[in-house]
Amino acid sequence: MYKNYLYKSGVSRRHCAKPAFFPTLLALIWLIVLWPATAAQAACTSPQTATITSGGTATFTCADMGFISPANALPSHGSLTFGIPSIIYTNNGDGATSDTFIVKDDSGVRITFNITINPSASPLTVTPSSVAGLPPEKWSSLMYGF
């Protein structure tokens, strides 16, 4: 089928790769390079949501290898702790009812996080009846400061 021609390099045509090999190799390299990027983008959908109580935490682990950085939108009512493969949001307990921030995942994709913050279950209340040993005529000075 092939004639045995010698090329300038001294290799015969019979020993060279067939032309269909190169497009197949190129397609295989293309898949290897792009597969992790497309898989990671599909792993984290935006927005991510969580509901926590005031002062609580929420942990997100949707990225394949982790989160790399905040994306110019840090939380207003809490802090972030980056780990592999998670990110932890901790609310500061300031009474806010929601918080939002944007973070880049391991592929550089921006993901928005929306946090709903419920009030704590047992608010601290002080009533005059719970102050032991104080006569009722002094309760107003305790409550109003005079």
Shared-domain flag, residues 52 and 104: yes
Shared-domain flag, residues 66 and 112: yes
pLDDT of residue 40: 42
pLDDT of residue 20: 65
Shared-domain flag, residues 28 and 53: no
Within a domain: 128? no
User: Domain range holding 33?
Assistant: 1-38
Cα separation, 100 vs 50, whole angstroms? 10
Mean pLDDT of 48-67: 87
Mean pLDDT of 42-63: 86
Shared-domain flag, residues 53 and 110: yes
Within a domain: 66? yes
Other Cβ atoms within 10 Å of 106 Cβ, number = 18
Mean pLDDT of 32-49: 65
pLDDT of residue 125: 65
Cα separation, 84 vs 79, whole angstroms? 17
Beta carbons of 83 and 66 less than 8 angstroms apart:
yes
Mean pLDDT value across the chain:
75
Beta carbons of 89 and 57 less than 8 angstroms apart:
yes
DSSP label of 35: H
Shared-domain flag, residues 17 and 72: no
pTM summary value:
0.55
